[in-house]
């Protein structure tokens, strides 16, 4: 028997409740609870959809573990993030702030795929066909195999897919598409869930690589139910500051590749351009001979990045000093300050500490600890670091410098960009061949590092 069930669900975080709340108990958002009506059909035994598949269980050793076939998108940075290219039949979700360049990236990708002989259908629910054509003219993304449709009705989108039979499908955006039989408004939790389920069946059943563009909430997460990210094969976040020209494409979920890779783009008048050497870009405006500025070698997936760290230590006029960090975890900054106070005798209790990663990159790995400590000490003592130094290493609570992974790649990247000296953990010097033309100095404690960097 079927029965109608009514519930209330938050459009921001997907929290479900049997009654309406003015303020969501889950994310504390005001007026975000909407009423959802669904029909529940009870099925048991062999009539359950779980038993509809005709596949039989197989021993895991008999299952073919060959690599999934991939299609090169024509954009190297996007291929890197996806794990080597897009997999036919995969469902990809791309999220990002408004105006960050999601539609531009998708249109450029669609155009690049047509050069490989693929047919692409670009469905826009937010812009008219003429607006999409104007963007394509500006980007130079004009091809006879690129079809554009302005539609939000899910049934008509499926009709267009049946008619064109594309190899690549873009939905911009999933929050604008609706099913007529679902009573809630477009963009609601129920609509997003049901439409994504239909697109998943299209992708898996017909082998069409499908990309869904999603809106984000004020907290930066993709809008809609959390189930949305569980349903898709890959979740990409397009990040960046509007005041900077570069953009970062980061994978937070990828069933066909690594989630540690990032793609770096630069926004120009003619669209997004790939950044082949991001380290050179981030260091292009680095001041030389300034206290508090150091260069750290960080790893983003398999790619080494050389980024400038800037620290500013100034006397506070308040009882409690301020601690601010941009691009580095604030809790990690407090930990390093505590180590410097306890182990190095630095008096920072009356000093405000500001830390910034130049260029807006976010560094999450502990290998940046040593560079943070050197930047703070350099600013406090007003002693500039050497402009040709690169520093990396993890700091322990007792003041020791611990080894980090992939030291060889970090050093090679520093040598390629012309740096003369690298200060790194002593234990990271073992097990690999040191390149010529660059001096490697191993340290065991923070005191050793400061003595070398600030001599």
* Domain 281-452 part of CATH 1.10.1740.10: no
Mention every residue, 6+ apart, whose C-beta is less than 8 A from residue 389.
Answer: 294, 295, 419, 420, 421, 422, 423, 453
Domain boundaries along the sequence of the chain: 4-35, 67-275, 281-452
| 313-332 tens-digit pLDDT | 999 988 899 999 999 999 99
Where does 243-368 have alpha helices with state H? Answer: 278-282, 330-344
| 376-401 tens-digit pLDDT | 999 999 999 999 999 999 999 999 99
Is 187 part of any known ligand binding site? no
Percent of the chain with pLDDT over 90: 62
Arch. (CATH architecture) of 67-275: 3-Layer(aba) Sandwich (3.40)
Is 98 part of any known ligand binding site? yes
Q: What is the mean pLDDT of the chain?
A: 88
**Band of residue 44 on the pLDDT scale cut at 50, 70, 90:** very low
Q: Which residues of 380-418 are buried (b: 16+ CB within 10 A; e: fewer)?
A: beeebbbeebbbbbbbeeebbbbbbeebeebbbbbbeee
Terminal-to-terminal C-alpha distance of the chain: 81
Is 97 part of any known ligand binding site? yes
| 247-269 tens-digit pLDDT | 889 899 999 988 878 898 988 88
Q: How far is CA 141 from the centre of its chain?
A: 25
Is 258 part of any known ligand binding site? no
pLDDT of residue 162: 95
| Dist. CA 235–CA 250, nearest whole Å | 9
Is 102 part of any known ligand binding site? yes
Tell me the pTM.
Answer: 0.76
Q: How far is CA 243 from CA 99, 194, 220, 253, 360, in A?
A: 12, 37, 17, 27, 10
Mention every residue, 6+ apart, whose C-beta is less than 8 A from residue 112.
Answer: 73, 74, 75
Domain 67-275 and domain 281-452, same fold? Reply is no
Task: Examine the pLDDT at 239 and tell me if it is beyond 50.
Answer: yes
pLDDT of residue 86: 93
Task: Examine the pLDDT at 7 and tell me if it is beyond 80.
Answer: no
Question: Which tokens sit at 315?
Answer: 């006397």
Question: Which tokens sit at 435?
Answer: 């390149």
Task: Examine the pLDDT at 282 and tell me if it is beyond 80.
Answer: yes
DSSP 188-247: SHHHHHHHHHHHHHHHHHHT-EEEEEE-B-TTSSBSS-THHHHHSSEEEEEE--TTSSEE
Among 1-10, 83-92, 224-233, 428-437, which is the least confidently predicted range?
1-10
**Band of residue 38 on the pLDDT scale cut at 50, 70, 90:** low
Highest mean pLDDT among 20-34, 136-150, 245-259: 136-150
DSSP 364-399: -SGGGHHHHHHHHHHHHHT-PPPTTEEE--EE-TTS
Q: What average pLDDT does the segment 430-440 reach?
A: 92
Is 74 part of any known ligand binding site? no
């Amino acid at each position: 028997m079927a029965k109608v069930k009514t519930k209330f669900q938050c459009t921001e975080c997907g929290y479900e409740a049997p009654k309406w709340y003015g303020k969501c108990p889950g994310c504390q958002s005001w007026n975000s609870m909407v009423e959802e009506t669904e029909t529940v059909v009870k099925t048991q035994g062999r009539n359950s959809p779980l038993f509809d598949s005709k596949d039989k269980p197989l021993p895991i050793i008999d299952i073919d573990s060959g690599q999934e076939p991939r299609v090169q998108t024509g954009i190297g940075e996007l291929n890197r993030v996806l794990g080597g290219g897009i997999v036919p039949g995969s469902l990809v979700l791309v999220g990002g702030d408004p105006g960050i360049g999601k539609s531009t990236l998708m249109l450029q990708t669609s155009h690049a795929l047509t050069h490989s002989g693929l047919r692409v259908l670009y469905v826009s629910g937010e812009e008219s066909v003429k607006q999409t054509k104007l963007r394509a003219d500006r980007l130079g993304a004009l091809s006879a195999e690129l079809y554009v449709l302005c539609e939000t009705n899910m049934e008509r989108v499926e009709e267009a897919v049946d008619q064109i039979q594309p190899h690549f499908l873009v939905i911009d955006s999933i929050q604008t598409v609706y099913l007529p039989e679902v009573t809630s408004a477009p963009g609601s939790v129920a609509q997003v869930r049901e439409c994504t389920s239909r697109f998943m069946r299209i992708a898996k059943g017909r082998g069409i690589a499908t990309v869904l563009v999603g809106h984000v909430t004020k907290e930066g997460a993709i809008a809609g139910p959390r189930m949305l990210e569980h349903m898709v094969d890959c979740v990409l976040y397009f990040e960046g500051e509007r005041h900077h020209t570069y953009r970062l494409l980061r994978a937070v979920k990828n069933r066909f590749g690594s989630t540690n890779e990032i793609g770096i783009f630069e926004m120009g008048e003619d669209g997004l351009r790939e950044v082949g050497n991001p380290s050179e870009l981030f260091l292009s405006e680095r001041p030389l001979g300034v206290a508090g500025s150091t260069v750290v070698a960080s790893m983003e997936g398999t790619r080494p990045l050389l980024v400038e760290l800037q620290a500013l230590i100034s006397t506070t006029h308040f009882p409690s000093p301020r601690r601010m960090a941009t691009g580095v975890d604030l809790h990690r900054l407090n930990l390093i300050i505590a180590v410097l106070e306890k182990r190095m005798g630095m008096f920072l209790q009356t000093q405000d500490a500001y830390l910034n990663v130049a260029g807006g990159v976010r560094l999450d790995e502990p290998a940046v600890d040593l560079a943070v400590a050197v930047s703070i000490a350099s600013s406090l003592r007003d002693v500039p670091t050497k402009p040709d130094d690169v520093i990396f290493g993890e700091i322990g609570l007792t003041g020791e410098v611990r080894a980090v992974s992939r030291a060889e790649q970090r050093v090679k990247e520093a040598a390629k960009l012309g740096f003369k000296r690298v200060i790194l953990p002593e234990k990271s010097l073992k097990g690999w061949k040191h390149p010529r033309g660059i001096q490697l100095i191993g340290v065991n404690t923070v005191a050793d590092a400061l003595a070398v960097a600030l001599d």
